[in-house]
Amino acid sequence: MINNAIPLRIAGVGYSVPKAVVTNEDLTKLYDTSDEWIYTRTGIKERRMVSGDESAFELGVDAAKNALAKSDIKADDIELIIVATSAPSQLYPAMGCRIQAELGIPNNIPAFDITAACTGLIYALSIARGFIASGMYKNILIVATDNNSKLLDWSDRSCSILFGDGAGAMVVTASEDGVDDIISIDIKSDGSIGNIIEFNLAGKNCPLVEPNTEKPQFITMNGKEVYRFVARVLPEYVEQLVANAGMKNEDIDYLIPHQANLRIIQAVQERLGYSEDKVITNIERFGNTSAASIPLALVESVEQGKVKLGSTAILTGFGAGMTWGGAIVRLREGIC
Ligand code: UT7
């Protein structure tokens, strides 16, 4: 951290999910699969999918309103918008700009999108921390939103079972009481294995140069390789994150991980020696909602009384890139 860094306060966290529920049983109408196969390998029973007017944008706006309403910051006072999205409804205008317009946030502020897939929320939080620490901006809106269901190959049964749609949002601000809600934060990437989860914007070459070059555009994933990589890297990484913060595993109240696969979450849980009630999962009902998954798990577990505020949590994510990251955060009363 820079000298004289300004501390950050998490002021509000919100989420939004689409209405339509797609169960494992429903997926058996698309391909040869079963609830038993999906549930035992992933921990997923059902997920939400956008329909009608719903989209990553619409969910993002809703989550942002929700986070702002829980915070003590007004939309007019937001000075920067960062949207983490890898399955947006449009590549440009950036979702950040569209959310700015929709929320009526003054037009003299910057807004942009970042692509860090399922680690997007941690990346955005890290960027926001830098801007707040340096004094450049005070009030920042982070939105993490993905509509994966529109980018999936609905005949690929090993990939399309995993994902759902959703959005999360966080309002962060300069802390005025000297307490930093980010105890530690770290982001990483390894582009050399980027091909294990991809979404290619193939497009069409100019017909004068090369006719008929359009390729299908779907998320492709080598699930086994992703699983191997994350199961090897993540448990040790999270343990190290705690040690680097000068903390012990028992100093942390909750682990709130990206919801990609229950078996991966359990591997991290075992490494840290945490009991089940310390580890927050809602993958059973929402599947993998990419960037939205951490804020969705956080707020939903507060609503359900599983997470008590006035506590400390590890947030950790991983995804395409490959990217991964983690933050140890203070969860103040009233943020969600
Ligand atoms: O945020 C993104 C991060 N992504 C992840 O975390 C993904 C991590 N990976 C995984 O969770 C697992 O790899 C999956 C759950 C996606 C897939 O499980 P897997 O054990 O790696 O399956 P596989 O794709 O290697 O397929 C094994 C077998 C194959 O049959 P054969 O060739 O052994 O006869 C597949 O055809 O399972 C079959 N299979 C299925 N069977 C029933 C694949 N998908 C299905 C299915 N239902 N949905």
Q: 273-324: per-residue pLDDT in tens?
A: 999 999 999 999 999 999 999 999 999 999 999 999 999 999 999 999 999 9
- List the residue whose alpha carbon is closest to atom 26 of ligand 1: 158
Q: What value does the mean pLDDT take over residues 176-204?
A: 94
Mutational pocket test of ligand 1: of 38, 148, 158, the residue with most ligand atoms within 8 Å of the beta carbon: 158
Q: 41-55: per-residue pLDDT in tens?
A: 999 999 999 999 999
Look at residue 127 and tell me whether its pLDDT is greater than 70: yes
Question: 206 an active-site residue?
Answer: no
Decide if 43 contacts 161 (C-beta within 8 A): no
pLDDT of 107 reads 86
Cα of 220 from ligand 1 centre, angstroms: 12
Q: Report pTM.
A: 0.96
Q: 142-181: per-residue pLDDT in tens?
A: 999 999 999 999 999 999 999 999 999 999 999 999 999 9
Q: 262-277: per-residue pLDDT in tens?
A: 999 999 999 889 999 9
Cα of 135 from ligand 1 centre, angstroms: 46
Q: Which of 258, 261, 282, 336 is catalytic?
A: 258
pLDDT of 286 reads 98
Of ligand 1's listed atoms, the one at least distance from the Cα of 27 is 48
Q: How far is residue 156's CA from residue 220's CA, in Å, rounded to a whole number?
A: 9
Q: What residues have CB less than 8 Å from 151, skipping those under 6 apart?
A: 87, 199, 217, 218, 219
Decide if 122 contacts 185 (C-beta within 8 A): yes
Q: How far is residue 9's CA from residue 175's CA, in Å, rounded to a whole number?
A: 5
Confidence of residue 8 (pLDDT cuts 50, 70, 90): very high
pLDDT of 2 reads 64
Question: 288 an active-site residue?
Answer: yes
Cα of 316 from ligand 1 centre, angstroms: 23
pLDDT of 307 reads 97
List the structure tokens of 116. 């860090």
pLDDT of 1 reads 62
